[in-house]
Structure 1
Amino acid sequence: MAETEAQVSKTMKKSLLIVNCFILVIGNCCGPLIMRLYFLHGGKRVWLSSFLQTAGFPVILLFLFICYFYRKQHGDDDHSSTIIFMKPPLFVASAVLGIMTGFDDYLYAYGVARLPVSTSSLIIAAQLVFIAGFAFLLVKQKFTSYSINAVVLLTIGAAVLGLHTSGDRPAGESKKDYLFGFFMTVGAAALYGFILPSVELTYNKARQAITYTLVLEIQLVLCVFATLFCTIGMLINNDFKVIPREARQFELGESMYYLVAVSSAIIWQGFFLGSIGVVFCASSLLSGILISVLLPVTEILAVIIFKEKFQAEKGVSLALSLWGFVSYFYGEMKQSKKKSKNHKSETELPQISDQVKFYERLHCAPTVYRKVACIL
């Protein structure tokens, strides 16, 4: 019975992983595009774009209510009447991560405002390097020669972009602003590379069972504090006063302005919900890999939709990134096969070890007892 329940739990977790991967795909591919759409057609408020990345958090409440009613109907004795799972230490950790996420949102929005999507996406791919490094330091993530190779290739790919940055600089933008946007995007990649392993560390250190409902609560608190951080920035920058005027001057029309804003909030919420869900179902490193592996999709969509330039440097960077992805996944396949073989050998090991211990004891016993034992 226990084995059956474990199998059901494992199957549910795999299904949940697939759902979160799907949500992450939509958020990761469409989020940068809709944000760039805002800036290309007259939008100039960086703090507003930062705010919209987490302002869709009310969507999480819908999922939380579904989880609550599911527990109530299925008679969970421990939590069927409890709405909130989170304990104070976990709340504080989630709030701190939320503030960091808000700052990361600002760095990323600033970069997208200055850089083409195809360029910013390639830079963001470098966050896998930071995720890998912080995952090693914070959650003791193990590495193979293949994963190290992937990290090196992605680092070189990002460096190639930095060698010739003026080729795809948008018209009317100074080289100083372009470079500043470049380094702000690198900063965003580094900070988010720290946040994802920190989320995994929070799961590991939490003194309570980590359920998907609790993961949703963590995400809710994280987004609320990130949104509050960006709201303060908007108040200081007087963004709320400028929004109506900017909407009227938006090139695609006022109604389209608000539609872009609402769509951006919902799509970005899918990105954050998907990424943190993958961390829960697997690991922060896998979440980072999935975010990076979607790079070619975003890259192609940006070139098609926004007619962005695709120079040789981007081609080299993209090739190195894809090479890194293939290297990583090949290493993971070999590692999983090795683990399955070790697991099979471990199941046979106790019987062998018992026989060895028996013969060791037999060897140390007096001669008469050894003869009797061998006869028996």
Structure 2
Amino acid sequence: MIHHGGCKRAATTNWREPKLNEEDPVVDMDNHDLQHPRTRSYKWLIRVAAYIVFLLSGQSAATLLGRLYYDKGGNSKWMATFVQSAGFPILIPLLIFFSPMFSKSTKSTRTQSPTKPKLSSLAFVYLTFGLLLTGDNLMYSYASLLAVHSDSDTTKISRAKYVIGFLCTLGASATYSLYLSLVQLSFEKVIKRETFSAVLDMQIYTSFVATCSCVVGLFASGEWRKLGDEMKVYEEGRVSYLMTLIWTALTWQISSVGLLGLIFEVSSLFSNVISTLALPVVPILAVIFFHDKMDGIKVMAMILAIWGFISYIYQHYLDDAKSRKDETNVTEVAGGTTEMC
């Protein structure tokens, strides 16, 4: 979790690192085994790297598949919203595998897992995040739909819809940032479990609520009546229509696991920065697969995304160097005081 005492690096960048106290062993809460601090540090780095790969690859693939859905005839914003959360069942086997019942070791250690949170608290957290995620995904889907239609030669978008699309884009970005911050806060204040199963719980139950909300929206809006015709007129055929939706759902789940994993292991800020790093990747892939033109706006967006990522890493490097220097000075002062005594 975030260190609150004496370390300016953590307070400035919310960077969360594993405890590296050479004197005390560290307990892995997933298998209750004592581990050397250096071993845990390496495992932490591997986990963070894996989550980054999940987030970047999943988000890039899901964005391109969503673009394919709209380009080939898809037109349902509620269906596009539905697939962003409906793939959660693929995570259930992982949740069962990492559950305490399947833990291979039951050895007792001096470090015990914290008290489980109340069921009512967890239900409130998952329900709130599910509804928040539904609203964010809906705004994202609507903005993407208008963006695709604005590039079409046959479809004209009114000024009012442009304004709505712009507001949806801003709203989705703001809601997304709020969601990341609240998820990190819930991990620290409510869930309080340092396990991968906690990440899976958050993703599965939140996605379940979001999926149920999308089903309600799909039927309430009447878009479900048009899905049969949408499948028939889909340019690549019915099988391609279904496979596009299925793979979009799966890739969004991969992306979400990476997102939550980075929030859990590092911070919501770092997770957001890595998510932003996918922005330069998508236009390049779109040029390759959709033969898009690389215009000045896309190039500028890529430069800003890369610049933001490099700035974050550089600032963390400066804060880390200053923190190490301060710790060294404190150690030297403490050593000098001991000698004088």
- TM-score normalized by the length of structure 1: 0.74
The answer to whether 1:37 aligns with 2:21 is: no
CA contact (8 A) 1:247 1:257 kept: yes
Instruction: Work out the CA distance in 1 between the residues paired with 2:302 and 2:42.
Output: 35
- Corresponding residue pairs, total: 303
Query: Is 1:51 aligned with 2:82?
Result: yes
> Counterpart in 2 of 1:61?
92
The within-5 A match list for 1:1-376 is 2-3=24-25, 4-68=35-99, 71-75=102-106, 87-88=118-119, 89-116=121-148, 169-171=151-153, 172-176=155-159, 177-206=161-190, 208-354=192-338, 358=341
Query: Normalized per residue, which structure has more helix?
Result: 1
CA contact (8 A) 1:107 1:187 kept: yes
Between stretches 281-290 and 85-94, larger displacement belongs to 85-94
- For the pair shown, the structure with the greater C-alpha radius of gyration is 1
Residue 325 of structure 1, CA deviation: 2.6
Cα drift, residue 355 of structure 1: 5.4
Amino acid at match of 1:296: P
- Secondary structure of the structure 2 residue equivalent to 1:310: coil
> Amino acid of the residue matched to residue 249 of structure 2?
A
Report the TM-score, using the length of structure 2 for normalisation: 0.81
Report the CA distance shift for 1:174/1:211 in structure 2 as closer, same or farther (over 3 A): same
- Distance in 2 (alpha carbons) for counterparts of 1:260 and 1:214: 30
Deviation at 1:50, TM superposition (A): 0.3
Q: Matched residues in 2 for 1:311 and 1:207: separation?
A: 45
Deviation sequence 1:47-70 (CA, Å, 0-9, x none): 011010010111221211121278
Cα distance in 1 between the residues matched to 2:177 and 2:247: 26
Q: Is the 8 A contact 1:42 1:250 kept in 2?
A: yes
Distance in structure 1 (CA, Å) of the matches to 2:309 and 2:224: 42
The CA distance in 2 between the partners of 1:312 and 1:354, in whole Å, is: 63
Superposed displacement of residue 186, structure 1: 1.8
Distance 2:252 2:108 in 1: 35
Q: Secondary structure at the residue paired with 1:268?
A: helix
List gaps (5 residues or longer) in structure 2.
1-22, 26-34
Distance 1:175 1:9, change over 3 A: same
Larger deviation: 34-43 or 327-336? 327-336
Cα offset for 1:31? Answer: 1.0
Cα deviations by residue, 1:247-300 (Å, 9 ceiling, x for unpaired): 122110001110011101000111111101011111111101101112111111
- Structure 2 counterpart SS, 1:298: helix
Q: Distance in 1 between matches of 2:298 and 2:200?
A: 37
Shift in Å, 1:347: 3.5
- Counterpart amino acid of 2:64? L
- C-alpha change, 1:86 and 1:259, in structure 2 (3 Å) is farther
| C-alpha contact 1:107 1:188 (8 A) present in aligned 2 | yes
Q: In the TM superposition, what is the alpha-carbon distance from 1:226 to its structure 2 partner?
A: 1.2
Q: Residues 139 and 171 of structure 2 are in contact (CA less than 8 Å); yes or no, is this contact kept in structure 1?
A: yes
Q: Secondary structure at the match of 2:194?
A: coil
Give secondary structure in 2 for the equivalent of 1:2.
Answer: coil
**Separation in 2, partners of 1:16, 1:322:** 23
The 8 Å contact of residues 90 and 202 in structure 1, kept in 2 or not, is answered as no
| Superposition RMSD in Å | 2.6
Q: Please say if residues 86 and 214 of structure 1, whose CA atoms lie closer than 8 Å, have aligned partners that are also in contact.
A: no
Match of 1:36, SS?
A: helix
Question: 1:326: Cα distance to partner?
Answer: 2.2
